Amino acid sequence: MRITLLADSCTTGWLNWGHGELWLTPHHVVRIGRRELTLRSAAKGGAMGGAVAAAGGLGLLAVQAADKKFASGRPAPGAVVEVEKDTWEGELDGQPKALILGRDDIDSLDYRHGISSSRLHIRMTDGREHKLLWLPNPHAGNLLAHAFGPRMHRS
C-alpha cells in the first residue's frame, strides 16, 4: 500500500503543542501523534517538527523506504512510502489517539497555506469538524487537492 507523508509537524490546534505526522492513504487521512517529534520541536524552540525518527514499526519502514528523503535519511513531506497493509494497521492499533478520517466520510476541506503554518479545516459528512496545523511545505496542498478535487477549497 502506498501512503504519502503530508506533514511531519502536524498538531490538532494552537493549544495542542503535540507534534505528529499527517499521512494520506488510499482510504484515509491519518494524523499520528509522535512524542519524539514533540520533544525535538521543543528542543528547537518549537519551530521544527521531525520526521518519523525512532517512531516504531512504521517509522523504521518509512525511513528505509521513502522515495524522497532529507539529508539525514528521514522522509520529507511529500514522500511516498510503500508499506504492508498489516504493518500499517498494526501501527495504527498501537496509536489509540490517532485521528483516522475516512476519505469517503469527508464532506469538504478548507486549506490555507500561510507563512508560518498551513491549516486544514475538515468537515465530515456527519457534521463533525477537525482542524490540523503544520509547518508549511510545498507538497501538502497539491497532494490534498489531487486527492479530494472539488471537495477541497483553498483560502
The pLDDT of residue 116 is 86
Amino acid at 141: G
User: What pLDDT band is residue 14 in, cutting at 50, 70 and 90?
Assistant: low
The pLDDT of residue 43 is 43
The pLDDT of residue 66 is 38
**For 120-154, how does the pLDDT look when each residue is reduced to its tens digit (9 = 90+)?**
999 999 999 999 999 888 889 999 999 999 999 99
Residue where the block lists cell 494552537: 14
Is pLDDT above 90 for 101? yes
The pLDDT of residue 74 is 62
Crossing angle of helices 56-65 and 85-93, rounded to 10°: 140
Does the CA dihedral 139-143-146-149 come out positive or negative?
A: negative
The percent of residues in the chain predicted with pLDDT above 70, rounded, is 72
d(CA 155, CA 153): 7
The pLDDT of residue 65 is 40
d(CA 76, CA 79): 6
Higher pLDDT, 91 or 133: 133
CB atoms under 10 Å from CB of 42, counted, come to: 11
Cα torsion for 3, 106, 149, 121, to the nearest 10°?
Answer: -90
